[in-house]
Structure 1
Amino acid sequence: MDGLGLDGRVAVVTGGAGAIGAAVVADLAALGALVVVADVDLPNAGKVASGLPGARALAVDLAAPPSVEAFCEAVGPVDILVHNAGVSVVQPFIESDPASWDLMWQVNLRGPMLLTKLLLPGMLGRGWGRLVFVSSDGARAGSGGEGAYAATKAGLFGLAKTLAREAARAQVTSNVVCPGPTDTPMLRRVTQAEPELVGKIARGIPLRRLGTPADVAGLVAYLCTDRAAYITGQILSVSGGVTMH
């Protein structure tokens, strides 16, 4: 099928050592992209990159602007930027520690803003680019215990839509993917005190199962292809029908 290849395109995936990030890396590499696995956890990023043609791992700490700047100098020209990294502290908002708000703001919103500011000019100059922001269905609909997390992830909506307008004439698209309940190590950690909660969550999903990292990665990869060249400024859920718009 024409328009689905990414041969020679350089793609950065932040949080690439995580479950969803690794799935995105694998799909982009399968389409021919040269993927940079960007993560604060360099050893595991290296494991994800190993065995994938043209893939490499680079360290980046999104909470530290000097690290982001050094990463951009090291990575070179980038055609595709997938903002997948994120941190979450789950607790009722009135019990939350403002220090945790700062970490989530730095990693979930400020980091993507700075990384995009540094890498987008090259896309504009070359007349082609893809920005994909991985947010959360909790940011669209609210999620108990995730007030600060949802707030920082919701900030990506405004950023992505603004960039979609500002970059459109250079054929750079900007979209948001919002995973719903997804079976990842992060979810398992959050629910370990109440193991039966996973089953309860799955029963509340119209498709009657949790999402998988591959479910999310498939949409992210598609949005990076030429087949998706006319899709920009959109917020798309991968939630098994929990969120419908």
Structure 2
Amino acid sequence: MDGLRLDGRVAVVTGGAGAIGAAIAADLAALGAHVVIADVDLPNAEKAAAGLPGARALPVDLAAPASVGAFGDAVGPVDILVHNAGVSIVEPFTESDPAHWDLMWQVNLRGPMLLTKLLLPGMTARGWGRLVFVSSDGARAGSGGEGAYAATKAGLFGLAKTLAREAARAHVTSNVVCPGPTDTPMLRRVSEAEPGLVDKIARGIPLRRLGTPADVAGLVAYLCTDRAAYITGQTLSVSGGVTMQ
């Protein structure tokens, strides 16, 4: 089908060394994009990039404005910006550490704001661009133990919708993708402390399985194509039916 290729487009995926980020990077590369895997974990970012044609890795620490600025200087013109990186610290809100709030705010919301401010002007000047913010179904519906995480990820909704309005005339779209329960190494590590947790979560999902990184990546990649050029300002869940709107 026409409109599903990204040949020649430069795509940045933050948190690209992780499970979901690597799947997004792989799908974008398969559509012809030149992918830049941006991650604080440069060795694993380089490993992920090595397996993709035309991909490269660059370091960025979203909690450090100077690092974000250096990344912006190093990356060059960017057509697609996928904000996938995130930090989650699970703890009941009344027992949570404000220092943890600060870290999650810096990585989950301030970092995307800073990076978008650097790269969006180039997209608008060239008359084409895609912004995709990976948030969380926990930010849409709430999630026990993730009050600060949900708050910072929910901030992406307002940012994405505002940018959708401000950049529309330059043919830049801005959307949010919200993964639900997804089978990642992080979830498996958490489940080690609670045997049976993964099966319990899966039973509560209408489709009766956890999501996979590929489930999330497929939607992100589609939103970056010309077939999705008339979709902007939207928040879409990939949750197996946990969240329905």
1:189 alignment counterpart? 189
Kindly state the Cα deviation for residue 190 of structure 1 after the two structures are TM-superposed: 2.1
2:69 alignment counterpart? 69
- C-alpha separation between the residues in 1 aligned to 2:33 and 2:26? 10
1:114-173 deviations in Å (ceiling 9; x for gaps): 000000000000000000000000000000000000000000000000000000000000
1:25 alignment counterpart? 25
Tell me the SS of whatever aligns to 2:175. Answer: strand
Residue 222 of structure 1 aligns to which amino acid in structure 2?
A: Y
Please list every run of at least 4 consecutive aligned residues from structure 1 whose deviation after the TM superposition is greater than 3 angstroms.
Answer: none
2:60 alignment counterpart? 60
Query: Where do 1:30-179 residues align within 5 Å?
Result: 30-179=30-179
Over the matched positions of the two proteins, sequence identity in percent amounts to: 89
Contact 1:90 1:190 in 2 (8 A): no
Residue 9 of structure 1 aligns to which amino acid in structure 2?
A: R
1:160-205 deviations in Å (ceiling 9; x for gaps): 0000000000000000000000000111122221021110000000
- C-alpha separation between the residues in 2 aligned to 1:51 and 1:204? 35
Tell me the SS of whatever aligns to 1:176. Answer: strand
1:202-238 deviations in Å (ceiling 9; x for gaps): 0000000000000000000000000000000000000
Kindly state the Cα deviation for residue 51 of structure 1 after the two structures are TM-superposed: 2.8
Is 43-52 or 213-222 further displaced after alignment? 43-52
TM-score (norm 2): 0.99
Kindly state the Cα deviation for residue 53 of structure 1 after the two structures are TM-superposed: 1.2
- C-alpha separation between the residues in 2 aligned to 1:195 and 1:225? 41
- C-alpha separation between the residues in 2 aligned to 1:52 and 1:168? 31
* Stretches of structure 1 lacking an aligned partner (at least 5 in a row): none
- C-alpha separation between the residues in 2 aligned to 1:64 and 1:109? 12
- C-alpha separation between the residues in 2 aligned to 1:185 and 1:121? 36
TM-score (norm 1): 0.99
Tell me the SS of whatever aligns to 1:139. Answer: helix
Is 29-38 or 43-52 further displaced after alignment? 43-52
Q: CA RMSD in A?
A: 0.5
1:27-78 deviations in Å (ceiling 9; x for gaps): 0000000000000000000000003111000000000000000000000000
- C-alpha separation between the residues in 2 aligned to 1:156 and 1:171? 20
Residue 160 of structure 1 aligns to which amino acid in structure 2?
A: A
Contact 1:25 1:37 in 2 (8 A): yes
Residue 100 of structure 2 aligns to which amino acid in structure 1?
A: S
Tell me the SS of whatever aligns to 2:192. Answer: coil
Residue 178 of structure 1 aligns to which amino acid in structure 2?
A: C
